[in-house]
C-alpha cells in the first residue's frame, strides 16, 4: 500500500490542486525523479552502513512527511512534501530486495522474489480500492493510511528478520584492496569492490545494463494506466465515480497478480528474462491498445487481465535476474537499479502522456502506446535470441 498516493496523483493534482494535465505530467516526473534519487541513495547507504539501520532511518522520515502532507493535500504545498516523502520512501524498497538477495540463494531466490512481488500486489489489491473510495471526500486519510502502512512495514521487518549482511570495516576494506590483484575481478572479495561506482560496475555486465534500460522503457508505457486511465474515467463518470473505478482497476490487477503469479512463475523460472519480457510487451500492446476503442465498463476490466499477465511475465523474474548478475559488494545498489528503472518510467511516462493529451484524444494516445509496446516486444525477442546464440557458443550471458 506504499504506492497509494502515486496511484491517484493525476486525479489529486488535476481534480484537487487544480493543475492542468501537462502540469500534472511535469509534477509526476518530479515525483519519479525523487523515487530514482531515493532508490540510488538508499541502495548505496545500505551497502555501506547496513540494511536495517538505513531502512529504519528512511522509514521514520517518510512517516513524518506523509503525516504532515495530510494537512496540505489540496494545496500546492503537497507537491514538495510528496517529493521529499517519495525520496525517502523509495529508498526502502531496494533495501528489502537486498535483504532477500543476502538471505536466499539458488532456487529459493526466485521463490522469495516472487513472494515479494505478491506481497507488493496484495497492497495494490487493498490500497487503491480504499484510496478511490476516500479520494473525493476524505483525501487527508489517504496520506495518513500511507503513513501507517510504512510504519507497520517497519515494525514487521524489525521484529521478524535478522541482519545477514555484514558491513566490512575500514581495516577489512583496506586489507582486501592491498591483497587484490589490480587486474582481477572476483566476487569472492566483495569488500575490494565496495567503492567501485554503480555505473562502472554495470558497464562490466552489459546484459544487465540493457535489461535496466529495457525495463525503464516498459515501465514508461505501463505508466499510462496510472496517468491516463484515471483521467479517462473522470471525464466519463465524474471525479467520485472515476476515482472509484480507477481504484478497482488496480484491485483487479492485484488479484490477478496474486492468483496468476504461482502459475506463470513456472514459465518464468525456466525461460530467459528477455523471452518473458517479449511476451509481456506483446500482452501490453493488446491490453493497453484496447483502452482506446472499448466503451463498455466491463471490457475495461477484461483488458486488466490481459496486461496483468504481461506484467507478471516482466516483473516476476526481474529481481532474480538482477541478483544473478550482481557482485556481492553491489547487491543493494544493483537492486536499486530495478526501482530506479521503474521510477524513470513512471516519471517520463506522465510527462509524455500529459503533453500528448494536450493535442490528441485518448484513443490516439493509447494507439501510440500500443505501437510502442509491439516494438518493445520485437526488440526483447531479438535480444533473447542473441543471448541464446551466445549460450550455444559457450559464451557468458
Residue 229 located in a structural domain: yes
Residue 174 located in a structural domain: no
331: domain CATH number is 1.20.1250.20
Q: How far is CA 220 from CA 133, 313, 354, 370, in A?
A: 27, 16, 13, 12
Residue 169 located in a structural domain: no
pLDDT digit string (tens) for 349-394?
A: 888 888 898 899 999 999 999 999 999 999 999 999 988 888 777 6
Q: List b or e across 352-379, with b for residues whose CB sees 16 or more CB atoms inside 10 angstroms.
A: bbbebbeeeebeebbbbbbebbeebbeb
Query: What cell does 66 get?
Result: 506523509
Residue 325 located in a structural domain: yes
Residue 177 located in a structural domain: no
Residue 285 located in a structural domain: yes
The predicted pLDDT at position 277 comes to: 92
C-beta atoms surrounding 390 within 10 Å: 12
Residue 79 located in a structural domain: yes
3-state SS class at 46: helix
C-beta atoms surrounding 278 within 10 Å: 23
**Residue in this structure with the C-alpha cell 476515482, named with its chain if needed:** 243
- Count of domains for the chain: 1
**By C-alpha distance, which of 97, 54, 75, 72 is closest to 341?**
97
Query: What cell does 339 get?
Result: 526501482
**By C-alpha distance, which of 123, 130, 131 is closest to 150?**
123
Which run of H or of E encompasses 232?
Answer: helix 206-237
The predicted pLDDT at position 246 comes to: 80
Residue 175 located in a structural domain: no
Q: What is the pLDDT along the chain (397 residues), one digit of tens a residue?
A: 456 676 677 778 887 888 887 888 788 888 878 888 888 888 888 877 888 888 888 999 999 999 998 898 888 999 999 999 989 988 887 788 778 777 766 666 666 766 676 676 666 666 666 766 777 678 888 888 888 888 888 888 877 777 777 766 666 656 655 555 444 444 444 445 555 556 666 667 788 888 888 888 998 999 888 888 888 888 888 777 777 788 788 888 888 888 888 888 888 878 888 999 999 999 999 999 999 998 888 899 999 999 999 999 988 877 777 777 666 666 566 766 777 777 778 778 888 888 898 899 999 999 999 999 999 999 999 999 988 888 777 665 4
Which residues constitute the domain of residue 255? Answer: 4-164+194-392
The predicted pLDDT at position 175 comes to: 62
The predicted pLDDT at position 284 comes to: 96
Query: What cell does 261 get?
Result: 503469479
pLDDT digit string (tens) for 93-102?
A: 778 877 877 7
Amino acid at each position: 500500500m506504499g504506492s497509494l498516493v502515486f496511484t491517484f496523483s493525476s486525479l489529486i493534482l488535476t481534480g484537487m490542486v487544480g493543475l492542468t494535465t501537462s502540469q500534472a505530467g511535469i509534477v509526476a516526473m518530479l515525483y519519479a525523479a525523487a523515487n530514482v534519487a531515493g532508490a540510488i541513495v538508499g541502495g548505496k547507504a545500505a551497502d555501506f552502513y547496513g540494511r536495517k539501520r538505513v531502512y529504519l532511518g528512511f522509514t521514520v522520515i517518510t512517516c513524518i512527511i506523509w503525516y504532515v502532507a495530510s494537512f496540505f493535500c489540496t494545496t500546492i504545498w503537497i507537491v514538495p512534501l510528496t517529493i521529499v516523502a517519495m525520496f525517502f520512501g523509495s529508498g526502502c524498497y531496494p533495501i528489502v530486495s537486498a535483504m532477500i538477495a543476502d538471505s536466499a540463494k539458488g532456487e529459493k531466490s526466485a521463490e522469495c522474489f516472487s513472494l515479494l512481488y505478491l506481497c507488493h500486489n496484495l497492497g495494490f489489491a487493498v490500497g487503491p480500492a480504499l484510496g478511490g473510495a476516500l479520494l473525493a471526500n476524505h483525501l487527508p486519510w489517504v496520506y495518513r493510511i500511507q503513513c501507517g502502512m510504512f510504519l507497520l512495514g517497519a515494525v514487521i521487518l524489525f521484529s521478524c528478520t535478522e541482519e545477514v549482511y555484514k558491513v566490512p570495516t575500514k581495516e577489512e576494506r583496506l586489507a582486501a584492496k592491498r591483497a587484490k590483484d589490480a587486474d582481477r575481478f572476483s566476487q569472492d572479495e566483495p569488500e575490494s569492490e565496495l567503492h567501485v561506482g554503480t555505473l562502472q560496475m554495470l558497464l562490466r555486465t552489459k546484459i544487465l545494463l540493457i535489461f535496466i534500460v529495457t525495463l525503464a522503457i516498459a515501465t514508461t508505457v505501463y505508466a499510462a494506466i496510472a496517468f491516463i486511465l484515471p483521467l479517462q474515467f473522470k471525464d466519463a463518470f465524474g471525479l467520485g465515480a472515476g476515482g472509484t473505478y480507477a481504484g478497482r482497476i488496480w484491485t483487479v490487477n492485484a488479484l490477478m497478480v496474486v492468483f496468476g503469479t504461482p502459475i506463470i512463475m513456472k514459465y518464468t523460472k525456466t525461460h530467459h528474462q528477455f523471452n518473458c519480457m517479449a511476451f509481456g510487451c506483446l500482452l501490453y500492446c493488446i491490453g493497453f491498445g484496447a483502452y482506446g476503442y472499448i466503451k463498455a465498463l466491463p471490457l475495461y476490466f477484461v483488458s486488466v487481465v490481459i496486461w496483468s499477465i504481461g506484467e507478471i511475465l516482466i516483473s516476476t523474474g526481474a529481481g532474480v535476474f538482477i541478483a544473478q548478475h550482481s557482485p556481492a559488494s553491489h547487491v543493494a545498489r544493483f537492486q536499486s537499479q530495478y526501482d530506479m528503472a521503474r521510477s524513470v518510467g513512471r516519471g517520463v511516462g506522465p510527462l509524455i502522456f500529459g503533453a500528448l493529451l494536450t493535442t490528441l484524444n485518448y484513443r490516439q494516445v493509447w494507439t501510440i502506446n500500443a505501437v510502442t509496446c509491439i516494438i518493445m516486444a520485437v526488440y526483447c525477442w531479438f535480444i533473447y535470441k542473441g543471448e541464446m546464440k551466445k549460450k550455444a557458443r559457450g559464451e557468458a550471458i
